[in-house]
Copies of this chain bind each other. A is one copy, B any other.
Amino acid sequence: MPHNHDELLKHVSADMPSDELLQDLGDLFKVFGDTTRIKIMYALYEDEMCVCAIADLLKMTQSAISHQLKVLKAANLVASRREGKTIYYRLADEHVKSIIGQGYDHITE
């Protein structure tokens, strides 16, 4: 007969966050899980940038960048402000750098 781990499961289950939170965590990291979006976030590390500057920097179309900025914004990772025709994006808060920094540490250890 297969071995039993009901006790263990009861204990571990009790410590698991809600399904909703677990889903949100996955969704958040999914946003970090794309090189283009990582590059955009790094581009904004020091200062805000307009969409066309990011597109120039990454040698990608304005449309592609715009789509990805929308994803980043929906996850509250970037924020924007308008100045005339131009829209400047910036990192939304310090968590962005913290998360990327922790990832960096894991890779370069």
Contact = CB atoms under 8 A, between A and B. Distances in A.
Number of copies of this chain in the oligomer?
Answer: 2
A25 B104 contact: yes
Contacts of A104: 21, 25
Kindly state the interface size class of chain A when it binds its partner.
35 or more
Contact of A42 (B17, B23, B109): B17
Nearest to A17: B42
Contacts of A67: none
A16 B39 contact: yes
**Max chain B Cβ within 10 angstroms of own Cβ: one of A22, A28, A100:** A28
Contacts of A33: 26-27, 29-33
A49 B2 CA distance: 15
